[in-house]
Structures are given as structure tokens and as C-alpha cells.
A and B are shown apart, each in its own frame.
Chain A
């Protein structure tokens, strides 16, 4: 059955998944669908966030006063840089909650941007493009290392960066996704921004307290693919696109033309 045509069923599965009662093959199938489909993924994230609140609403009980005494006694030796393995679990869980909130605030931000349908369509488009491009190399890899490894890789959390760069009239936008593992920076133009043939659009990272750093040029086409290292992209909370002479701003210097699109860079970890 095509889940996408049944939003109620998607929601039901997302809730059972977040509660933890969806198990075995059904759980794996749902997780693989949610990795592929942003709509399903956003439902899954929303329910995970909802149920995380179970930990906040339990009735209070009074612990034995000795518990604080024990904590206080252990404080001097507790703050060592090396964290023992047992506490790594809790640390990881807390990090997961924060990452979950980050991902959700991205979804909510997109929804508030107004152009949700266009944005989701474009993001799905980019993902499909990426998947098609990946297929060839994945096949070769599967032959080399066996299908099991491929499945493991697919099951791993993916970190990516997303930015929706908008012009000040909100007429057009550029969607940027960055996959640090593949060093792949993808730009996709949505809307009808027109520019002269003797100009180029140039993408800049705006690291705090430093000069803008050029990430490359966007041609006349709707999609551009650039290569960048994580260190060139990730430290910048903002990205911007300027209108430059054909071929871009002089190497080594900063941007010379006006900013056409800009927006926040968000890290998603799903």
C-alpha cells in the first residue's frame, strides 16, 4: 500500500513508533520510509517530541536526603574530562532530544515561511536527484561489500545541512542542502529570478567575525552542484548569494555585488 495516500495511517504508525510499541519488521519498514519521505519523517519527529514529555509529567516523590549527600561527596572527582562509558548513554539520549528539537524547529520554520508546498517539493526533488546519483555507486559498493553493509549504512543517522535562501521580496528562493559525508553542496532555485547573461550568482558562507568565504558559482540552470568541506560550510550560521560579474568576484576578495538571497543554515540529524 502507498502510505503517502493515507495520512491517518502514517500518523498512527508514527505514534506507535515513537511510543516504542511498533517493533520488528514493521518498525524497520517505517523507519526506512521516513528516511525517504520528509512528510512521514516530520510526523515521526513530532510524535517523538510529544512522547519525550512523558518524562516531565510523572508525579513527584521525595528521595532520601542521603542521595544529595552522596552526590555532593562525588562531585570533586566527577568532573574529569574522560566520561565513563555508562554515562555516554544518557549523554547521547540528551543530545538526541536536542537534535530532535533542532530538526523540528527546521520543519516549523519552513512551514511558517509560507511556501511550504514548494519547499517540500523542492527538497524532495533534491533528495530524489541525490538518490539517483547515488544509485550507481551504491550498486558497485553492494557488489564489493555485500548488501548487508549497504543496509547498515542506510540505517545510520544522516547529518545534513539545509538552508532556504530568500530574496527580500520573498518572490524566489534558493534551497541549499549540504551533505558533509559526500562533500556535496546542492543549490536549487525556486521561483522566477531573472538575471542578465553577463552576471553570475555566487554563494558565500558567512562565518561569524570573519570575512565571507566563497563556496562557488551558480550558473543559469535551476540546479547547481558544488563541492565543499564541512569546515568551509558548517561554522557559518548564514549563507548568502550575491550578484557578481560573470565568473564571480575576484579571487581572494569578498563579494562586490548586492546580496540577492540569504538565509540561515540549519543542521539536521535524523
Chain B
């Protein structure tokens, strides 16, 4: 993506390039920020900081090493986790039932084909393998990674028994490993 180079150039066209990048990617990045923070306002703040961050460090991006969405995704998740940790005491969605998450994500998925051109091979494989998991397993595994949560933190946030969370994660990981194995070769 030449956009990163144009942003990094720091000339008169750079702001236009950032706007182009924002138009192309902010939907997916906002979806990610929303999943991590569980709060629209924080997700928008995290998004704003993430793009300002990209504005500053676009010159560090190396196209040969990671696709742009993966690189940006790491930045957005990291900023979102900052917000989550800073404001954990006032979590708006603390204790939201798992079923509420599921409704959101399933509805969101249906009309949103992933643009594979900008996605990494890992994303394609992970997405396919995740789609073979049961909804609940997929959800706890995803949230565990995206929010950097332990078994007990997950159990607390999703109002589930600890044993259930452990079982779902273990089964989910086993199935993921078997599935990803087939992509690896």
C-alpha cells in the first residue's frame, strides 16, 4: 500500500493520503476498537489516537513484513487496551451477557465480506478456522485474545462459570490447532 509511503513523506499531500487510508480502513479498525473496549465513545477515542499514531510512525511500516491491516490492527488494539485499562473501573458493559455479544457480531459479520487483498494469509486461515467453531467457543477465544483476558477475567465479564470458560477455551483451541495445521503446509 503506497499510502503509507505518502503519509510518511510528510509533504503537502500527506494529510490527503491519511484521509484516504482512513476512508479505506476506519470501518474495520473501528469494529476492532469497539470489540476491545465494548464502548462506542472509548472506541472512537482509541481510533482517533491510533490514526494520529499511524500519522507519526507510518515511516516505520515495512510492507514486506506485514500487510497494512495487520500492522494497523496491532496499533488499534493496543490503543484500545490502553483505554480499557485506564477506565476499567467505569466499564459501561461490565457483565454483559455473552448472548448480547453474539447477536452483535453475527449481525455484523453477515453483510461484511473481508477484503482479502489487504488481509494477511493468517487472517484468511484464522477466519475460516474460527467459522468452524461453535459460536460460544469462537466468542470466548476471540475476546480472550482481543481483550487480553485470563480465564477468570473472562468468566467474570461474561457471567459464566470458570469451569465452562476453561472447557470452551480448551476445546476451541484444540479445534483451531487441528484446523490451522491444514493451512500451515
Contact = CB atoms under 8 A, between A and B. Distances in A.
B142 interface: yes
B75 to A, nearest CB: 5
What is the interface of chain A mostly: helix, strand, loop, or mixed? helix
A98 B66 contact: yes
A11 B184 CA distance: 13
Interface stretch (B52-60, B88-96, B156-164): B52-60
Given A67-B26, A93-B75, A19 B15 contact: no
A53 B123 contact: yes
A94 interface: yes
A50 B56 contact: no
Given A16-B173, A19-B141, A90 B75 contact: yes
Contacts of B19: 68, 72
B60 A94 contact: yes
B65 interface: yes
Interface residues of A, number: 49
B109 interface: yes
Contact of A61 (B27, B65, B77): B27
A60 B141 contact: no
Contact of B146 (A55, A79, A97, A98): A55
Interface in B105-135: 105, 108-109, 112, 114, 119-120, 122-123, 125-127, 130
B84 interface: no
B177 interface: yes
Interface of A: 11-12, 15-16, 19-21, 23, 46, 49-64, 67-68, 70-72, 74-75, 78-79, 83, 86-87, 89-91, 93-98, 101-102, 105
